[in-house]
Amino acid sequence: MRVGVIGGGQLARMMIPAAIELGVELRVLAEAEGMSAAIAAERVGDYTDAETVLAFAREVDVVTFDHEHVPQDVLHALVDAGVPVHPGPDALRYAQDKLLMREGLSRLGLPVPEWARVETPAELDAFIADHGGAAVVKTPRGGYDGKGVRVVHTAAEVAEWFATIAEDGRAGALLVEELVEFRRELAQLVARRPSGEIAAWPLVETVQVGGVCSEVIAPAPRSAGKLADVAADVAIAIAEGLGVTGVLAVELFETTDDRVLVNELAMRPHNSGHWSMDGSTTSQFEQHLRAVLDLPLGGTGCHEEWAVMVNVLGGPVEGTLADRYAEAFAGHPTVKIHNYGKAPRPGRKVGHVTAIGSDLDDAVYEARAAAAVFQD
Ligand code: ADP
């Protein structure tokens, strides 16, 4: 069994141990030499070039992804050539374009923030006026880690985005949403096989700093019961309604008036599921491989009551993560450390740590303290 992963980042890298354990051969089409996943049988090539991607795909049984940036025409070229692609282009387009995603979720009747497609500053100002004088504007494509997301009080604050879309025939519009008053952010991960089986992990709480995920607590505190059921139902409805295969991450807002709204979708393993590598019977990376190969899914129960994942953002100013191993391992022997093999750079996700246990405060303390060893 051979799985081809397009994209050589840390998500592809973390699929490697899962593939080795299952005896699955993993091949990676990386964007450049020396990327995070370079230790897999790596090809380097342009994922926007259909010939390059087709040549890569001919050597594997199924193609999947480390990111959602492969263009639709390339994805369709694979499908037309008979290559199994999971998630397929018709699902993936909802994760590639936030306007399409809002349209798709609204069509399915799922709870989303109030939103509109705006093509002119006047339309945006009208939306802002109707929504209490503030709104969140998003570029439909290419945003990540909070880039391409801006809270505004007037359309003038995104004048350059309007200038860009005027030149860009593809997008032609911005997404505007109500500024949601949320108590916290949550994420629901599920995995779905092409033949339909779905497995859901527990709902988790995610903490964002400056638009970047910093911590995840699994399960989300005070989420047992109705909240967990609602979140799982929403994610399952999305997976089925949009025909998603593989891992689907649904980012959610828990509003101050106790509603659950869908913020974002990712159709691949996701930062909010990294805890599962050490905290769940089946990690999101193993589950993704099982799902895209259309094999029965693994259990999603937890080893301990709590798992806390903290990202290592930036890393040490001088040297590498490994330079701090002696201190981290000695001080935090129960914490699991994951190094993405990337050069430290301010704000960059270079690794994560996970602590599991029966006491939440203790797990939070341990994970934060271990992550701090790697940061100046
Ligand atoms: P990306 O995935 O590109 O980083 P998101 O759409 O997830 O962008 O937005 C990044 C962050 O911005 C969210 O995690 C949330 O904290 C905040 N945010 C996004 N949309 C809204 C909204 N409608 N109301 C309030 N905050 C928002």
Task: Please report the pLDDT score of residue 8 as a whole number.
Answer: 97
Task: Please report the pLDDT score of residue 169 as a whole number.
Answer: 56
Ligand 1 mean position, distance from CA 236 (Å): 21
What are the start and end residues of each CATH 3.30.1490.20 domain in the chain?
Answer: 114-178
Q: For residue 343, how many other CB atoms are within 10 A of its CB?
A: 9
Q: Whose CA is nearest to atom 9 of ligand 1?
A: 146
Q: Relative to the CA of 178, which ligand 1 atom is closest? A: 23
Question: Token pair for residue 76?
Answer: 């369709």
pLDDT tens for the chain, 376 residues: list them: 999 999 999 999 999 999 999 999 999 999 999 999 988 878 999 999 999 999 999 999 999 999 999 999 999 999 999 999 999 999 999 999 999 999 999 999 999 999 999 999 999 999 999 999 999 999 998 777 778 899 999 999 999 999 888 776 555 899 999 999 999 999 999 999 999 999 999 999 999 998 899 999 999 999 989 999 999 999 999 999 999 999 999 999 999 999 999 999 999 999 999 999 999 999 999 999 999 999 999 999 999 999 999 999 999 999 999 999 999 999 999 999 999 999 999 999 999 999 999 999 999 999 999 999 999 8
Task: Please give the CATH number for the structural domain made up of 182-373.
Answer: 3.30.470.20
**What's the CA gap between 71 and 98, in Å, rounded?**
15
The 3-class secondary structure across 152-183, one letter per residue, is ECCHHHHHHHHHHHHHCCCCCCEEEEECCCEE
Q: Which fold has domain 2-85?
A: Rossmann fold (3.40.50)
**What's the CA gap between 255 and 272, in Å, rounded?**
19
Q: Whose CA is nearest to atom 15 of ligand 1?
A: 211
Which of 259, 264, 268, 270 for mutating ligand 1's site (highest number of atoms within 8 Å of CB)?
264
What are the start and end residues of each CATH 3.40.50.20 domain in the chain?
Answer: 2-85
Ligand 1 mean position, distance from CA 149 (Å): 7
Measured on CA atoms in the order 115, 116, 119, 120, is the torsion positive or negative? negative
Domain at 114-178, CATH from 3.90.420.10, 1.10.1200.10, 3.30.390.30, 3.30.1490.20? 3.30.1490.20
Task: Please report the pLDDT score of residue 143 as a whole number.
Answer: 73
- Is the CB of residue 254 less than 8 Å from the CB of residue 238? no
Q: CA angle, corner 140, sides to 92 and 7, nearest 5?
A: 45
What is this structure's pTM?
A: 0.96
Ligand 1 mean position, distance from CA 345 (Å): 23
